[in-house]
Structure 1
Amino acid sequence: MILTSKDLDTLCKKAIEAACCAGELISTYTNKNVLVQSKKGVDSLASQVVTEVDVKAQGKILEILNPTLSEFDLALLTEESADNGSRFTKDYFWCIDPMDGTLAFTEKTPGYAVSIALVAKDGESQIGVVFDPVKNILYHAIKGQGTYKNEQPWHPDLVSGSGKSFIWHMDRSFLNHSKYSSIKIRLEEFVSKAGFSSFTSQKNAGAVLNAIWLLENFGCYFKLPKPTSGGGSLWDFAATSCIINEANAYGKSFDGSPLDLNRPDSTFMNHKGALYASNVFIAKNIREILNN
């Protein structure tokens, strides 16, 4: 089944409704103590943490999106449910992270968000919806229709960052990486030569807002390829891939190929990694730094 533009508009509205509904639920737990559990088979503290709120938020999302599965013949992949492989048999699938940045949520700091994407079987995002319940900001995009912020067309200025600040959005776990110090030094050198006014790093957010915040301020976010499982999951990048690309920013695999968002043998992104940047110029220089 090939979805029409009208179908995509309808599904995007459903995704927006679901994301906002989940975000409202998450907000009711902001100042409450919640039950925190751990997942197995993942490689960092941030990816191990799960709460009752993640599960309840997913429930809210599925209440709204489940009817679309039969109506539009869609598959489903969510963080808090097992991958049933249906994404390989349908033309499109919902890719859902009910609360990315759970660690930030448990620490009561900004950096968590609801993320919902519709991905084609070939791995290309068709719809991306992200809701930040802390700042009450909704971001969304439909392939070929541009990026929206709070449901208004949004055209962030990402062409020249001269005289502006530069932010390295990073995973907290990267502080322990063997190349952390050398990469930081080279990033600082690039930022200075490129004419940015300052260099800072931010390590509290999850992957979703790490990517989205590149549209709010100049910067980069990356996941290096590695032989072991991890490196983020499909649902960490599916929605932001659409939003970033429609905003004419940069979001690709580490080697420059499109993000592999329907990987057949895993839901992890470690095989190709990911590189997000505010523009192609930044991405080119970041890749050179990381390759060296």
Structure 2
Amino acid sequence: MNLNFKHLNALAEIAIRAARKAGKHISETRPINVQHKEGGDTLASQVVTEVDQQAQDIILETLEPTFAQFDLALLTEESADDESRLAKDYFWCIDPIDGTLPFIESVPGYAVSIALVSRSGMPQVGVVYDPVEHTLYHAITGQGAFRDSMPWNLPEAGSKVRIITDRSVAAYPYCGKVATALNASVKGQGGAVMNAIWCLENPPACYFKFPKPEKGGGCFWDYAATVCIYNELGAIATDMSGKPMSLNLPESIYMNPFGILYATDSKLAQKIIALKETLS
């Protein structure tokens, strides 16, 4: 099914409702049962709580009518990948709580993330809800980016570069070397979604992960919504070679072979890619 602007706007509104409902529940709930699941190679990628599943259930209940009406597939963190995303023209790509570790610790850095992605791997709609600040960000391909439903543009850039990243990445030697080369500060706290959003709120800023052989590096649902928002703002969201992120590959949902790069401007992105080549 070919989705036009009218369809995308309708689906964005439904995703916004789902994100707000899930975000409200998350903001009013504390986790009781913390478990570990198979995932990447960091603690942040392995912890899960009953609130993750509850938030997913809330989101799917709201999105349910869209699956049949628009012939959509589904990829979500708390359910097995049935690979329907490879057959349908579009799929919902959902992380009910990105940044579960900050959520467990009651510190900022977690968010609801919902994206609509084409079979080619291009995000068409991106919705992010921050339950801490109760702020909603969204974008629709070709129609701009919005903050709390108001048109959004990048704020004026400051003088010092910020690297905003995962705690595990902040501990890697390459992160420190890039920070030194850019004379940048480093903040390691949030999940992938809020790290990308915080960069947009605090330019010039960047969030990156170098490629690595180990499984991990985040999954499609960690990046799809914010890639859409970055694209609509004219910011940079690519893999570490500067190519568009491949967000619907058949062989793996993990991004570790490619790395990821978010930057608030192209010059900063180019510097990081060049540094990656010298440090690899």
TM-score (normalised: structure 1): 0.92
Unaligned runs of 5+ in 2: none
User: Is 2:163–2:206's contact at 8 Å kept on the other side of the alignment?
Assistant: yes
Alignment partner, residue 12 of structure 1: 12
Task: Tell me, yes or no, if the aligned pair for 1:140 and 1:147 is still in contact at 8 Å.
Answer: yes
What letter matches 1:186 in structure 2? A
**Pairwise CA RMSD of aligned residues?**
1.2
Corresponding residue number in structure 2 for 1:185: 180
What secondary structure does 1:179 align onto? helix
Tell me how far 1:33 sits from its aligned partner.
4.8
Provide, for residues 137-170 of structure 1, a one-character-per-residue CA deviation record: whole Å limited to 9, x for no partner.
Answer: 0000000001000001111146xx3x53421112
Question: Match for 1:82 among 73, 76, 80?
Answer: 80
For 1:112, the aligned partner's letter is Y
Equivalences for 1:256-271 in 2 at 5 Å? 256-271=242-257
1:156 corresponds in structure 2 to 154
Greater CA drift, 218-227 or 93-102: 218-227
- Give the alignment partner of residue 281 of structure 1, picking from 267, 272, 275: 267
Matches within 5 A, 1:55-74: 55-74=53-72
Structure 1 unaligned spans of 5+:
189-198
Deviation, structure 1 residue 22: 0.3
Q: Counterparts of 2:39 and 2:151 in 1: how far apart (Å)?
A: 40
Residue of structure 1 in register with 2:28 after alignment? 28
Q: Percent identity?
A: 51
Amino acid at match of 1:45: L
Mapping of residues 88-103 of structure 1, within 5 Å: 88-103=86-101
| Other-structure match for 1:112 | 110
- 8 Å contact kept, 1:226–1:273: yes
In structure 1, give the amino acid aligned to 2:179.
K
Q: Distance in 2 between matches of 1:132 and 1:165?
A: 25
Deviation, structure 1 residue 286: 1.2
**Post-superposition shift, 1:213?**
1.3
**AA aligned opposite 1:270:** N
Q: Contact 1:223–1:232 at 8 Å: present in 2 too?
A: no
* Aligned-partner SS, 1:13: helix
Are residues 1:200 and 2:185 paired? yes
- Quote the offset at 1:178 in angstroms: 4.0
Match of 1:49 among 44, 47, 52: 47
**Paired position in structure 2 for 1:172:** 167
